[in-house]
Amino acid sequence: MSLYYDAVAVISNEERVGGSLKSRIYANKSSKHAPAQIYALVSETTKWSAVLKEVIEKAGILKIEKKLTDVLALLLVHDLILSKRGIAAPQSHALCIAVNRHRSRLNAEFTKLRIRKGYPTLQAFRQSIDASSSASSYDQENEIYPHPRWVRINTLKTSWDKQLKSTFADFEETNVLENVLKASKNQRIFHVDANVENLIALPPLYDTSKMDAYRKSLLILQDKASCFPATLLDPMAHDGDMIDACAAPGNKTTHLAALSSSKDMPSGQKHIFAFERDTKRAETLRKMVAQAGANELVTILGSTDFLQVVPTDDQYSRTTGILLDPSCSGSGIVGRDEEPAFHVPTIPAQSAIQPGHKSKKRKRSRQVEKQRAAESPPVQEESIEEADDETEKRLEALASFQLKLLLHGMKFPDARRIVYSTCSIHVQENEGVVIQALMSEAARSNGWTILPRMQQPPGLQAWSIRGLRSECEQLMASLPHAAGLPSAKEVAEACIRCEKGTAEGTMGFFVCGFSRDPQSVTSTALDTGLNENIDEWDGFSDSE
């Protein structure tokens, strides 16, 4: 039965992590079941969920079987009716018995529904469901593009040339990303990215899990935007060590490691310290680093709060670069929204969850909540305002926490470049944090300024979507401005934004670099009147 409980946990996203369903399943190392098995169960049940919801409701089993939850019922009924092997649990298990005793009724309701929908055979019904679930195409009316599979070639274990000559040897190469975005999910076509080295785009939903190179971690799935921070930190441009302050699950750590390693440099010369406060997520980080072949380059400091790290500690005296990718609202993440809707059966009133009931198994996924929300009566104007207030407060708290981490990074005595990033689209967490940091006492007393566009690596200089200029102007006008600070135009130009759903094929993302020359630091700190004694905030979203 544990297979079904693990699937419920994934659907409910109990880990509250970002990324697509598939990447969440493959990143979760705590299940004893093969990721492919959980993925098959969840994706197949999702495809059939609208049908099964109706079947379960008509059969009325949730009213009778009080131990059965809505999501669990869908998974079990799916296997009972549609899987060749039936329910993958001992027949004597209480939940198995609970479903099995309604077998005839469930099968009868399913057959009635199939016939009502006009499918003479189960095979015809299957074909139709499969066809409708594989849509991942360009939405012409709204000009919304699907998300490609971005694949980073892991140069710690392989090389660009080797992969092009082996894994991608029989793929067609296209100079036009749109050709990949509009390709079918099985088409063997790729596009080489112009902004990030060693990155290619494959068609949306292309199944990499069967590729040998993917299984051996020679290829790493990483959104293009998420490759910007390590690229901007540009570890080879300076000789010291690097810090990844908020590292799990570790995609940016391993990218940083790949960029930090060079065949000309003896191993061990450049080192990465990867901090992660959350113990469980630190375990995932450890596995990702090991799989990527980055163990020698990375020291993982799990269960460690970056804010508690003493910048003057001898260990970090050679640190010249800091990557800071803190928890954020996750409003730029595309994976969750792209997942097909999971339709859950309605639990009849008497067996519905009581308020305050804490059973994990009854937790609902965001998709499920969305589905429920869509089915509930329209909300009143006041509740929209309340929700707006709530969002505003949440963003303020997040921004305070992000700023606190950034200002802490600015205290490392030898650091000369910091890269700040979020997978958020909100100004408060992005340009807002950058401007407050620039005007802070920590920045000014330590000589930190914005890393101008002209000093960024060529691929990122060429990226045309920059920070929001008018928002920068407004923010800077509202804060006490002092001489020597860059203009709002310069700040906006230095910031890099990525938008979701566009022809660029990225998630919503924000990156900005800070730089300094430690030699030129003066001790005359200016008081900007900003409060740097900020309360910590736990954060909501932890992107990949």
Ligand X SMILES: C[S@@+](CC[C@H](N)C(=O)[O-])C[C@H]1O[C@@H](n2cnc3c(N)ncnc32)[C@H](O)[C@@H]1O
| Residues annotated as catalytic (active site), given as ranges | 423
Nearer to ligand X, 152 or 271 (CB): 152
The span from the CA of 115 to the CA of 236, in Å, is 65
Angle between helices 70-82 and 2-11 (to 10 degrees): 120
Nearer to ligand X, 254 or 440 (CB): 254
Nearer to ligand X, 251 or 319 (CB): 251
Question: Nearest to ligand X by Cβ — which residue?
Answer: 246
Nearer to ligand X, 106 or 257 (CB): 257
Nearer to ligand X, 35 or 326 (CB): 326
Q: What minimum distance in Å lies between the beta carbon of 398 and ligand X?
A: 11
Question: Which residue in this structure is represented by tokens 């596995």?
Answer: 287
Sign of CA dihedral 464, 466, 471, 476: negative
Q: What minimum distance in Å lies between the beta carbon of 17 and ligand X?
A: 8
The span from the CA of 491 to the CA of 143, in Å, is 30
Residue 355 identity (one-letter amino acid)? P
Question: Which residue in this structure is represented by tokens 């050679």?
Answer: 318
- Annotated binding-site ranges for S-adenosyl-L-methionine: 246-252, 276, 305, 325
The span from the CA of 434 to the CA of 428, in Å, is 9
Tokens in use for 480? Answer: 């006490």
Q: What minimum distance in Å lies between the beta carbon of 232 and ligand X?
A: 13
Nearest to 27 by CA among 201, 286, 203: 286
Nearest to 253 by CA among 273, 268, 239: 273
In the complex, which residues of this chain contact ligand X (CB under 6 A)?
A: 226, 246-252, 275-278, 281, 305-307, 325-327, 405, 539, 542-544
- Annotated binding-site ranges: 246-252, 276, 305, 325
In Å, how far from its chain's centre is CA 30? 19
According to the 3-state scheme, what is the secondary structure of 367-397? HHHHHHHHHCCCCCHHHHHHHHHHHHHHHHH
Strand partners, 33: none
Nearer to ligand X, 109 or 193 (CB): 193
Q: What minimum distance in Å lies between the beta carbon of 168 and ligand X?
A: 25
User: Cis bond leading into 249, ω under 30°?
Assistant: yes
Nearer to ligand X, 15 or 414 (CB): 15
Residue 217 identity (one-letter amino acid)? S
Sheet holding 219-221, edge to edge: 172-173, 189-192, 199-202, 149-153, 219-221
Pairing of strands 199-202, 189-192: antiparallel
Q: What minimum distance in Å lies between the beta carbon of 310 and ligand X?
A: 14
Taking CA 219 as the corner, what is the angle to CA 216 and CA 222, rounded to the nearest 5 degrees? 130
The span from the CA of 156 to the CA of 220, in Å, is 11
Sign of CA dihedral 377, 383, 389, 393: negative
Q: What are phi and psi of 416, to 5 degrees?
A: -130, -10
Tokens in use for 528? Answer: 């900007």
Nearer to ligand X, 193 or 429 (CB): 429
Q: What minimum distance in Å lies between the beta carbon of 284 and ligand X?
A: 9
Q: What minimum distance in Å lies between the beta carbon of 15 and ligand X?
A: 10
Q: What minimum distance in Å lies between the beta carbon of 255 and ligand X?
A: 8
10: left (phi over 0), alpha (psi -120 to 50) or beta: alpha
The span from the CA of 377 to the CA of 368, in Å, is 16
Tokens in use for 416? Answer: 């000369």
